[in-house]
Structure 1
Amino acid sequence: MQSNSIKMHKMKQVLDCFCLFLNKYEHCEWMKGATKSEIHNGFQCAQDVEKICSVLETKGCVTAFEIKLSEWHKLKYGLVVHYKLQEFAAACDMILSNFYMNSDITDEVLMCATSEYLEICGRNRFHLLKEKLIFKAHTHDAVKNVIDELSTMVLEQKDVFKSTLSCELLRSVWTKYIRCKEASNISNCIHTTSNDSRFIESVLRILIKEDCSEEGKTMKKIITESLLLKMSTMNYQDPVFWHIIIVTNRHLIVTVCDLNPEICSVLVKFIVHVGKCMDIEFTEMNYIWKPKENAKLMVDVTFDDFVSLVRRFLESRGVAGDHMRRTLQDLKSQPDCSIWVEVERQCELPVLAKLVTANVRNDSSLMN
């Protein structure tokens, strides 16, 4: 009698655990302002459900438990629902998916949920889940905002892993688009999300990733065309985008240009545009270069940013370096070449200091 009582008590605990999980999964309001403790408890409950599923399957009690769960659910909530135990085998995945697909969730909560999932389920399982997480278009925000903020305690080489993972997540959802004949979503996404530095970095990483599949080639073609259109337009409404291009991972930008002469050509034209938007300002002891007041694309871009980008191009031994060197040589032979001589000097190229001084003095006399 006592043994049966203990079994009934355990069964009640198991059923309560499932109902608690269902309540957290089916009613997502709690996720919006969830604390770290609440998130931990949610995943802990999901983990308990996964363990129970494994035990029940091992003991061959699946069907009997499914009947009990439906009866228990009806008793507690007055609703008849027929559940299949297989649905709960990846309960942690179900909880994390809800976090990612809820547009009201803050970045902080998303990061905390992702970290909790990684701690419980591990990196390999997260990789397996990623395509399900980002199948829907509205999860792009989660991809952009969470990956750069993953908890350091679960990542040994966090910087490398984060940037790689972000790229892989984006490739996954875009591969889905191509397979579903919805490739236009890729160019739309680039157009609408190009003011996010993490997103742009992931897009550029896709371009340099070796991928000989037809889907990979199609994706790179769409990305290239979209970026070329974006860059060629030089829309004055996009200063943030251009700031990202100038100050983001410059090594990555140059690598893309080395592999893609079309992008290299457009980007070098933009660099020339930036140089022509720079103006010299004389002080009592020296002079400085800075963007002209009407240079709308140059918001928050400093001369040092500009020089750093040119320097990175010149360091390339590929297409980007050759193109930049030829362009600089041509620009130095034109009127008003002081800016380019100064850029070369700051890049520590073999330029005669006298030439720089002569040009600066020339500019000074013209202004007086």
Structure 2
Amino acid sequence: MTPKKILLVAAEVSGDDHAAEVGRFLQKKIPTIKISGIGGDQLAGLGMNILFHVRQMAFLGVGEVIKHLPFILKVHKTLVSHAETEKPNCIILVDYPGFNLRLAKSLKKLNIPIIYYISPQLWAWNSGRVKKIKKYVDQMIVLFPFEEKFYKENGVNAKYVGHPLVDHHHTFLPDSIKQIKKGFVKIGLLPGSRKQEVTSLLNRMIETARSLYKQNIINEAEIVKVDHLEKELYSTQLNDDDFIKIVQKPLKDCLLEYDAVIVASGTATLECGYYGVPMLIVYQVNPLTFILGRLLVKIKNIGLVNIVAEKQVAVELIQDDFSVHRAIREMKILLDENENQKVRNNLLVIREKLGEPGASKRTGQIVLDMLNKN
């Protein structure tokens, strides 16, 4: 019997993690399955044929996209050509809408079922994209109940499965709420998974930590390095900062130790929220991207943890608002014992919003059903 084939496009670190969980489920059900496309270290570890690695796809903002447009077009063309040659039984596109929705349009002509896992935030950005999804995507798999409602109201075949973050982390949750212990205060610096994010954000994070250390507000700080970025990108920004360490380990192994974090806006904010870690969300993109974003964004907050909570549970310092002075002030508030406990209690809402474990298995079953039809 001919092995089942999947073309999978997971062009971001978080997408690689979530798609890998689905891949493990599918490999158990169909040991001979062949997966190829864009992925990272997690999918590579499953034996996926990596045509392009996530580190090649980390473009931040309009300026970066324009700069790398020839390469992006090459990737698009390669994936379409691969699908034409290999004729996969289905295609799975994970998040990354700027690229994936254009790819879906090209791939739709091949008459191969297209599954879109992890919805673009259309309800926050460009709801007009829903027309493209209705036209080019056969099955949306979404993480939040309100997304399923949104898509169904717009005539899109959508299924809510819950959030895969819960699958990764629910067994590691602490039994009690962490309390600050004077003399042992530790913070985390999480500058993101893209090179441009680390370059843009880490220096101000370090300067903030230095000031907090000199004022005896913290005793330790850790920079959480992501696997695919070189250590020099982080270490060159440190001086003789003995109190700051660079660590390379899963975020779940770090968060239980932190009294607070400074974190780049993104999926990591949701992980911090799930573990109840008080956070300051920061971000910076080039001015053109920011201006366009402000014109298009329809919601007040950009931090995913705030969006999911449907209220502000973490302060956001975006663009020029992210100064060392402002960051120090906000971190002092978060590291106050009473305020820290209050924020941790407020963050419990994130666990309620993210639902029960099993999202990856439910997603895998939808893919399996699609494969069995083709």
Structure whose alpha-carbon radius of gyration is higher: 1
Query: TM-score, normalized by length of structure 2?
Result: 0.28
Question: Which one has a larger percent helix, Structure 1 or Structure 2?
Answer: 1
Q: Larger relative CO (CA 8 A, sep 6+): 1 or 2?
A: 2
Query: TM-score, normalized by length of structure 1?
Result: 0.29
